[in-house]
Structures are given as structure tokens and as C-alpha cells.
């Protein structure tokens, strides 16, 4: 009868170690674990920056994947400490966004062992999926956590701005497609031009040739800059608000 409470306590202790430490409640063991995971995450991306298949890169990949597998299993074991849903916790945990990212960071390296994944095209897909390892850093960065909180709190405002941007791209593309039908092969080419013009100075592969088209492009560029600046202001204001809330809690 005493073994179950003991086991429960051990799982709770494990959970407190593997969960990212914050400034107030983090233990020494948790801080060390976070540091080890950060090093492994950065190291796991090194083989993705080179085309070489040297032994050192293979070793790095295998070691980091082994660490990620152990991390995933420990988080699965302690799922109830996080979700508090009893047995259902072990069913719901793999569906969490970060759990999916964890799994996607592991599977590609395991898949390359199978002969069925020897095809060059599939190997490229597997290599691309390994990029998901970089998203694991979200769990261990306090600043990234704050930004995610800002996005969650300002979801309505950001959605409104995103909707405005989509409408602007569609409206601008529609006008330019009718002003300069010879410049664009189809309406989707006009949408591509409008999106590129909204988010940057343009690539120059599609440019207006008529005077009215160029005048409209200048006008839309100014409006586009204003639209792009809105999310930055919203996120900055929300970020400062969260920092202020944290300072008030510390007092």
C-alpha cells in the first residue's frame, strides 16, 4: 500500500525536474535539465546546416535523438501531473502541440533506419521534418513563453489585423489584375505580387508597366507598410504589459 504513494511522489519529483524552471519555483535540478536540453536542441540542428554525412554528424544526431526520446518518455510518464485527468492524461498528452513537436523531432531519425525510406525524395522530407527540433526551444525560453502569452491574449486583435491583410492582398490583386491584364498571367499571379508587395519591397519579377498601375503600386505600398506595422505594435504593447504584470507579482 505504501508503494503507490512513493511511486506518485517519484513521478511528481520527475515532473518538477523536466518541466522548464521559472524564476520563482525552479530547482537546481530543473535548471540543469533545461540547460542540457537547450544544448541538445542546438546540437541537433548542427547536422542540418551541412550536407556532409561525416561520422561526427551522425553521432551527434544519434545522441541528441536518444536524449529527445528519453525526454518524450519522461513527459509521457508524468502526463497526469501536467493534465490532471487520470488515465486519460496519457491519451491526451500526445495530442498537445508541444508533444506533437517532440514526436516530430524524433520520428525522422528513426525512419531513416528503415529500408523503405531510402528513396532520395523521402530522405529530403525526413531531413526537413527534423527542423521541428528547433521548435522544442519554445519550451525552455522564458521570452518565447512571454511572446506566446501575448499572442494568446491579443488573439482577437491579431486575427483582425490578419483578416485586414488578407482582404488588402485580395483587393489590391483584383484592382491590379484589371488595370494591367497583360502583366499577370492569371489572378493567382496578381495575388502573389500583392502579397510580396505587402510584406517586402518586391522581388522585381512582376512589375507594373502602366503609369496608373505604378501610381496604385506606390499607394498600396504605403498602406501595406501601415498594415504590417500593426501586429508589431500589438505584440510590443502586449509584451510590455506582461513584463509589468511580472514585476507587480514580484513586489
Tell me the per-residue pLDDT of 56-100, one tens digit each, with 9 for 90 and over.
988 988 898 899 899 999 999 999 888 888 889 999 999 988 888
How far are the Cα atoms of 58, 62, 107, 116 from residue 121, in angstroms, in the given order?
A: 20, 22, 17, 12
Instruction: Output the pLDDT for position 61.
Output: 85
CB 37 within 8 A of CB 136: yes
pLDDT mean over 130-138: 70
Instruction: Output the pLDDT for position 74.
Output: 93
pLDDT mean over 224-240: 84
Instruction: Output the pLDDT for position 95.
Output: 92
For the chain, what percent of residues have pLDDT higher than 90?
8
Question: pLDDT tier at 5 (50, 70, 90 boundaries)?
Answer: low
Instruction: Kindly report, residue by residue over 140-173, the tens digit of the pLDDT.
Output: 767 777 887 888 888 888 888 889 888 988 888 8
More confident residue, 111 or 219: 219
Structural domains in the chain, CATH included, are 3-140 (1.20.120), 153-250 (1.10.287.70)
What are the contacts of 223-229 at 24+ separation with CB within 8 A? 223/168, 224/168, 224/197, 224/198, 224/199, 227/161, 227/164, 227/165, 227/168, 227/198, 228/165, 228/198, 228/199
Question: pLDDT tier at 130 (50, 70, 90 boundaries)?
Answer: low
Nearest alpha carbon to residue 47 among 104, 120, 121, 105: 105
Instruction: Kindly report, residue by residue over 6-54, the tens digit of the pLDDT.
Output: 667 888 888 888 886 554 455 788 888 888 888 888 888 888 777 777 8
User: What helix, strand, coil percent values describe the chain, rounded to 5?
Assistant: 80, 0, 20
Question: pLDDT tier at 241 (50, 70, 90 boundaries)?
Answer: confident
Instruction: Output the pLDDT for position 23.
Output: 47
pTM over 0.85: no
Amino acid at each position: 500500500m505504501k508503494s503507490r504513494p512513493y511511486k506518485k511522489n517519484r513521478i511528481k519529483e520527475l515532473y518538477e525536474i523536466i518541466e522548464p524552471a521559472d524564476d520563482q519555483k525552479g530547482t537546481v535540478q530543473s535548471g540543469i535539465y533545461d540547460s542540457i536540453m537547450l544544448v541538445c536542441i542546438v546540437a541537433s540542428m548542427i547536422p542540418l546546416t551541412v550536407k556532409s554525412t561525416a561520422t561526427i554528424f551522425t553521432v551527434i544526431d544519434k545522441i541528441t535523438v536518444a536524449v529527445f526520446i528519453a525526454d518524450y518518455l519522461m513527459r509521457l510518464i508524468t502526463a497526469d501531473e501536467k493534465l490532471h485527468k487520470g488515465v486519460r492524461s496519457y491519451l491526451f498528452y500526445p495530442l498537445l502541440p508541444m508533444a506533437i513537436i517532440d514526436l516530430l523531432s524524433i520520428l525522422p531519425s528513426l525512419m531513416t533506419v528503415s529500408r523503405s525510406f531510402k528513396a532520395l525524395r523521402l530522405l529530403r522530407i525526413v531531413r526537413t521534418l527534423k527542423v521541428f527540433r528547433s521548435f522544442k526551444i519554445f519550451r525552455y525560453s522564458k521570452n518565447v513563453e512571454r511572446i506566446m502569452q501575448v499572442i494568446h491574449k491579443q488573439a482577437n486583435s491579431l486575427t483582425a489585423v490578419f483578416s485586414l491583410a488578407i482582404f488588402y492582398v485580395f483587393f489590391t490583386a483584383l484592382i491590379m489584375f484589371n488595370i494591367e491584364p497583360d502583366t499577370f498571367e492569371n489572378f493567382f499571379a496578381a495575388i502573389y505580387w500583392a502579397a510580396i508587395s505587402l510584406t517586402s519591397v518586391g522581388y522585381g519579377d512582376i512589375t507594373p508597366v502602366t503609369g496608373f498601375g505604378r501610381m496604385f503600386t506606390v499607394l498600396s505600398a504605403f498602406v501595406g507598410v501601415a498594415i504590417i506595422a500593426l501586429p508589431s505594435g500589438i505584440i510590443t504593447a502586449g509584451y510590455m504589459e506582461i513584463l509589468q504584470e511580472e514585476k507587480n507579482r514580484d513586489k
